[in-house]
Structure 1
């Protein structure tokens, strides 16, 4: 015995509850012939009569009453399960994975911490890595990306912020090395290959020789420590440059940051709450768009 479809049982349940094929068809939004065909298929699969047909409708047999009791209870459990799943989707709780860039932790984490305090059931996995985590396979639900606007299919992209970058040095270094008239007369502290798409790295291009590079590190705190120690000049956002001297700044060095989600999860309350928390205050929210 094999029941081909739960729809066969749903049709039989509707007839059992409402008493007639026409009433069941109307409730299910199908043609009455479909209801009859599915009941016949279910009776054939079970090898028993579930209903006695008569001019006024369908009456349950003993087997039909068993169907009403057991399948009705199963149908109620399915309905409860669907309600629980739908309700869970509406709550801001459970795990969410946000992938970002190491240098943004000071900006991003206070906002996410405030969100988690507001929603104690939320569990955050915050990952910083040069590689781009795939949203379409569930590696992350929200990604912060820098550079050109992401264009992957089925990604929803929103502008997060524009970050200025200046070239800074320690007071002691600037006093000794003098003005920035020739780049090759200075030493520099640079990020690694992960920052190759940063506007200031593209600007740098072939302007420096290998001997001009004092330190390369993918750790922003290590770079900042080296700059403060007078090892060389380095690029950073103004808010991280307290106590340092800005020696050069160009509009071309501004970096664009994007909030990226997958279209299938973008509208979920949990993802929307994270996106709202990560938007820079004071920025006008542009229209969201598919990548």
Structure 2
């Protein structure tokens, strides 16, 4: 294919959602954008967009095209950064995704990265949804749980985060602290969404206690944390949730079997780009700084 200009135009339409927005971004006329899309679809012999009143939606072919265009755009941007960045700084945007409860661990690395690269915007997406790195939805993902198995992903261990059953001091003052496992049957619980209830610590509790008394059920981990902080019941929280909150008390001793693995994930095509490598270097520095994790019950290992 020789229609690189048309491909770039289609990429901007897909990314921004409308011809008008793409035209503004490219400094082109709407008619030029439409002509580029028509020429590209004629070259491919198939539609890449479905036109509708709200904008342009990608077809399946368009999704594949966007995947290729995203990688090309990122690699060209990195090449420009390397050509211009004789002072070692990068520009543009770097997108990071993580689960909300563990996003706080990224703040220190992001601050260090921004100090070194003030012209590079960091977009942090804290979501339960898995961003598709192969479509450029994120450059770096911090994921928890089973090791990602995508063949095009570069996956690196980022240690493990501890989990425990916690209660607020206000709850313990009313109900008392469980003295043993059997005592849990007399306590009230804040229950999480179904996916979190499959964690090893919840499996252990369910195996031991047949009928838990549920005070609050929530589908958002932040709501679970806030309910526990409000003294509504016992709840499973991460070490990140408990860090710096002296009013929270762990019910059981730390158990490595309850810890959840963390993974730094990048796409193989963008893994070696300058901005991704520099951000990874700042994040990995956290692993080497034992003082950054002392007291939070988290082990970050290389």
Q: Structure 1 residue aligned with 2:128, among 109, 125, 130?
A: 130
Separation of aligned partners in 2, 1:144 and 1:165: 17
Q: Distance in 2 between matches of 1:196 and 1:222?
A: 15
> Which residue of 2 is the match for residue 154 of structure 1?
152
Cα contact 1:184–1:207 (8 A) shared by 2: no
| Contact 1:97 1:127 (C-alpha < 8 Å) held by counterparts | yes
8 Å Cα contact 1:102/1:219 also seen in 2? no
- The alignment of Structure 1 onto Structure 2 pairs a total of residues equal to 206
1:89 & 1:209 partners in 2: Cα distance?
A: 60
Residue 177 of structure 1 pairs with residue 181 of structure 2: no
CA–CA distance in 1 between the matches of 2:142 and 2:78?
Answer: 28
1:87 aligns with 2:80: yes
Match of 1:140 in 2: 138
1:267, CA displacement in angstroms? Answer: 0.8
Measured on the aligned residues, the alpha-carbon RMSD in Å equals 2.9
Secondary structure of 2:190's aligned partner: strand
Q: In structure 2, what is the Cα distance between the partners aligned to 1:199 and 1:271?
A: 33
Which position in structure 1 is the counterpart of 2:187? 186
* TM-score normalised by the chain length of structure 1: 0.62
Gaps of 5+ in 1: 5-81, 287-291
- Aligned counterpart, 1:256: 261
Equivalences for residues 109-128 of structure 1 within 5 A = 109-128=107-126
Deviation at 1:222, TM superposition (A): 3.1
Distance (whole Å) between structure 1 residues aligned to residue 78 and residue 256 of structure 2:
49
Residue 55 of structure 1 corresponds to which residue in structure 2?
none
Question: Please, what TM-score do these two structures have when normalized by structure 2?
Answer: 0.60
Highest Rg: 1 or 2?
A: 1
After TM superposition, the structure 1 = structure 2 runs for residues 54-69 of structure 1, keeping only pairs within 5 Å, are none
Query: Is residue 2:272 matched to residue 1:267?
Result: yes
Give the 3-state SS of the residue equivalent to 1:109 in structure 2: helix
* Cα distance in 1 for residues equivalent to 2:134 and 2:211: 40
Q: Which runs of 5+ in 2 are unaligned?
A: 3-74, 290-299
Paired with 2:164 and 2:109, the residues of 1 have a C-alpha distance of 25
